A and B are shown apart, each in its own frame.
Chain A
Amino acid sequence: MNILYVEDNKINAMVMNRMLSKNASKVMIAENGPTALEMVKKSTLDLILVDINLGLNQMDGCELLKRFKKLDMLENIPIYAVTAYAMPGDAQKFIKIGFDKYFSKPVNFDKLLSAISKVKQKIN
């Protein structure tokens, strides 16, 4: 199973990669939106995880989602928001703009991993 994780915070990217890789998934990291857009064209993906705040002056996760939605190849690929924005109403806000699932930071891995295994089951 191929997962793309878009995350600008290096430590988070690194440790998340560690956690997800343990479950026999192949994780690719993109530090920003443009890189992520390049990467989806080159690889076959099963799931995309997107951080929202991708840095000052940068395309944020919401904008990136919009761009992803325009790509045919990602038509049936679930895209989850994984973000530190976790004020009341944030979850609904991100679901509303089109994320398939929302996970707040610090990430509850039980929930995240269970969601990933469901995606995996579907593929199989």
Chain B
Amino acid sequence: MAFTGQEFVTLTEKTMLYLIIIDKEGNVHYANKRSETLFQLPGDQIIGMSIRDFIIDEEENKFEEIISKCCNLKSPQNYTFRFSPASNTGILTLKFDFILYNDLIYASGIDITEENKEHYSLISLSKLTKTGAWYYNPISEEMFFSKECYNLHDLEPGTPITMEKAISYYRPESRPKIWKFLEDLINKKPTDYTEKIVTEKGTEKWIRVLGEPIIHNDKVVFINGSFADITERYNYLEKVKYNEETKRLALKGIRSGLFDHHFDINATYYSTDFKKMLGLPLDKDFISTDLLKKLIHPDDLDDSIKRHIKGLKKEGHHYFNHYRIKNKKGDYRYYEIYGYRKKDKNNKTTRMIGNLIDVHQRKLNEHTIAENHSRLLAMINNGFAYTVLLNTSGEILMADQDSLKIIKRDFNVDPTTEPTLFIEVMPLNFKTSFFHEFNEALKGHTVKKEIERTTYKGALQWLESKYTPIKDEENNVNSILVSFHDITEQKTAEIARKEAHIKEQELSNLKSNILSNFSHEIRTPLNGIVTISNILLSGEENPEEREKLSAYLDESKERLLATINNLSHFSEIETIQKNLNYVEADMNYTIETSYREYRHFANSKKLKYVLKLDEDCPSALIDEDIFRTAINNIIHNSIKYTDEGKVLVKVKGEKEKIKITIKDSGIGIGKDSLKKIFDPFIQESIGLSRKYEGTGIGLSLSKRYIEILGGKIEVISKLNQGTKFIITIPKNI
């Protein structure tokens, strides 16, 4: 280069170039006018200063290197340095040519501050945004990576790079996609993609690549592109996407709504799905409280507002409420509202966030359960006398109120609050067979058992215990229902039926007895008559004997007749009953008449025969004929079976009835016979006199007649000591 120091100086006074001469140490020997802006000093003061003092620290070493290169190699050097002038006017970037001449270095520089600002900021931007630049020449297949591109691949900047090599950093499965990308660009299509690379160091990174084809003569001659590390962003987005998805799924799954209540504007933000469900306007972010109130079930509104006000005043931050809300279809559903309250300094709630949870099904289930429970209880309380539900261990799970009352009263335990074994509190009568029935029920059989017991109040009660096994879906017995059914009425009816049946049988037996007895009573005198007739017919007897036999014959004949007469009386009872002729009769008179009728009979037996009348002369409403027949039979009977002592006939009036007593000191009646004395034909006697032997129908007839008249007849007797008949007859029927 034809160049002299003087030329350098004179030529450059007016130039925009910075012209500085320095020695090998960097001390300034000359600086042109322009350079004064660099040093911010007048030209004479610059001379002798070290230029190093003006170069920014980090480039000082580079400066040394350049200077020494310049001196040692004796070749011109070109480098850009940044200067920080003494006055703080910012950094100047100067691009210098350094030439060694006469052991001095001639530096000429141009100000590239403005251009470099862009450059440096781009570099820092590239670093900060982790974005590199690249280009590719499809014709020469030249590939270029910017420094940051190398950094992003964990490669040493300047490492030779080709398209194949660049693509090898992608995952094998993605590589075809990248080649396709390149193909698109060559086909003039600007494009971009996001992919994953594995760097030289094995780090996985998500990158975003942009490419732009440069076209010349309708042909792609060059491709510019960027290469950005978006791993963080990608991960963040993925996370956001995932969270969003989770949230959506969660919100779709539950029929709940998120809400955000702002108290300052008295409005609430509801999640979209919830708004959709309730038919709330989707275009409005906030729903006014008044609008929501209209959707709350009228029955729940007042209570829910009360709860709301109270809930907001509560300590802490939580909030709870519940009410029914009308949905789009017009149905009300139950919601529970859980919130978290934000408060201001004055402890006033300003905002509340939470969710509305649809508990409709749960509420319905609860309702059904409660309803079923009360139904079961109603069944238990009304269906049976006593009902107890037991678990498989025999503990009481549930019982009707009556049973509970009894158990509490008698055993002082409450099966509803403490586990109670049924065996320990059950009625004694059932205990003995409980385990048998319970075990049968556990096997799945329904068992019944009838028990007779006395109630708390002493009444007789018949209970039927029924053990019903209750099975679960798998047909296992999980509990046993024990019910005690009061069957007293049925049982009583059954017993009555049985008794009636027995009576009927007795009656039928009685009939055949009557017949048999009649037969006997007729055959006995008939035997006498037949035998006597036989004897008399043979004609062998002397007249005296014949007379005696005739008398016997008469007696037998009379007895036979009496039997037949009484029989007709007896059979006429029904007719008599229909033709009663009631009159008010003086009892003293009536009884005395009968008494008189047998005075002769009693006298003939030398008995003490006594009549005692009532001084008040009581009277009674009677049919005189049958009453007298009844009394006569008894008086006759007493005298007949009394051989010594006395017979007493007595009338005694009482308040509403009259008592007639006929007492004798006769042979008496044995215990066994006493029961049957009023049965027809029973009475017979060992009395010596057979003259008045009856048919055995008399007392039976008396009893029937007295009963027809509304009275009754009793007999007290002791064998060999006598008999007392007491006839009671009402004064009025």
Contacts and interface: CB of A to CB of B under 8 A. Distances in A.
Interface of A: 8-12, 14-16, 18-19, 22, 31-32, 53, 55-58, 83-87, 90, 104-107, 109
A53 B519 CA distance: 13
Interface stretch (B217-225, B249-257, B440-448, B531-539): B531-539
Contact of A105 (B516, B527, B669, B684): B527
B549 to A, nearest CB: 7
Interface in B657-681: 667, 669-670, 673
A92 B532 CA distance: 28
Contact of A85 (B516, B529, B535): B516
Most interface-central of A8, A9, A32, A109 (chain B CB within 10 A): A9
Interface in B483-532: 512, 515-516, 519-524, 526-532
Interface of B: 512, 515-516, 519-524, 526-532, 534-535, 540, 549, 552, 555-556, 667, 669-670, 673, 682-686, 690, 719
A56 B685 CA distance: 5
Contact of B673 (A15, A57, A84, A90): A57
Contacts of A56: 669-670, 673, 682-686
Contacts of B669: 56-57
B555 A32 contact: no
Given A8-B686, A11-B552, A53-B684, A85 B530 contact: no
User: What is the predominant secondary structure among interface residues of chain A facing chain B?
Assistant: loop
Nearest to B685: A56
A57 B677 CA distance: 11
A90 B531 CA distance: 22
A58 B686 contact: yes
Nearest to A13: B528
Contacts of A9: 524, 528, 690
Contact of A84 (B527, B549, B667, B690): B527
Most interface-central of B520, B522, B530, B531 (chain A CB within 10 A): B531
Given A11-B555, A11-B556, A106 B526 contact: yes
Contacts of A58: 684, 686
A105 B528 CA distance: 9
A32 B688 CA distance: 12
Contacts of B555: 11
Contacts of A105: 523-524, 526-527
A10 B559 CA distance: 13
A21 to B, nearest CB: 11
A61 B719 CA distance: 21
A107 B530 contact: yes
Contacts of A55: 684-686
B528 A11 contact: yes
A123 to B, nearest CB: 25
A11 to B, nearest CB: 4
Contacts of B523: 84, 86, 104-106
Give the 4 A-B CB pairs with smallest separation, nearest first. A84-B523, A105-B527, A106-B530, A15-B531
Given A10-B690, A56-B685, A57-B719, A16 B519 contact: no
A87 B682 contact: no
B164 to A, nearest CB: 134
Nearest to A14: B552
A18 B667 CA distance: 31
Contacts of B528: 9, 11-12, 15
Nearest to B528: A11
A15 B690 CA distance: 15
Most interface-central of B516, B523, B527, B555 (chain A CB within 10 A): B527
A108 to B, nearest CB: 9
A61 to B, nearest CB: 12
A111 to B, nearest CB: 13
A27 to B, nearest CB: 13
A29 to B, nearest CB: 14
B686 A57 contact: yes
B673 A12 contact: no
A121 to B, nearest CB: 24
Contacts of A11: 528, 532, 552, 555-556, 690
A47 B604 CA distance: 40
Given A57-B673, A87-B515, A12 B531 contact: yes
Contacts of A85: 516, 519-520
A16 B673 contact: no
Contacts of B520: 53, 83-86
B673 to A, nearest CB: 6
Most interface-central of A8, A10, A11, A32 (chain B CB within 10 A): A11
Contacts of B516: 85, 87, 90
A30 to B, nearest CB: 12
A31 B515 CA distance: 26
B665 to A, nearest CB: 16
A105 B540 CA distance: 23
11 contacts: A12-B527, A12-B528, A15-B528, A15-B532, A32-B686, A56-B669, A56-B685, A58-B686, A84-B524, A90-B516, A106-B530
A12 B686 contact: no
Given A53-B520, A56-B685, A86-B523, A15 B719 contact: no
B369 to A, nearest CB: 73
Contact of B527 (A57, A87, A107): A107
Contacts of B531: 12, 15-16, 18-19, 106-107, 109
A12 B524 contact: yes
Contacts of A86: 519-520, 523
B426 to A, nearest CB: 52
A34 B501 CA distance: 40
Given A19-B534, A85-B520, 8 more contacts: A12-B527, A14-B552, A15-B531, A32-B686, A56-B673, A86-B523, A90-B516, A106-B529
A22 B531 CA distance: 13
A84 B669 CA distance: 23
Contact of B534 (A10, A53, A87, A109): A109
Nearest to B526: A106
A88 to B, nearest CB: 10
A81 B549 CA distance: 25
A109 B552 CA distance: 19
B214 to A, nearest CB: 143
A69 B27 CA distance: 177
A84 B535 contact: no
A29 B531 CA distance: 16
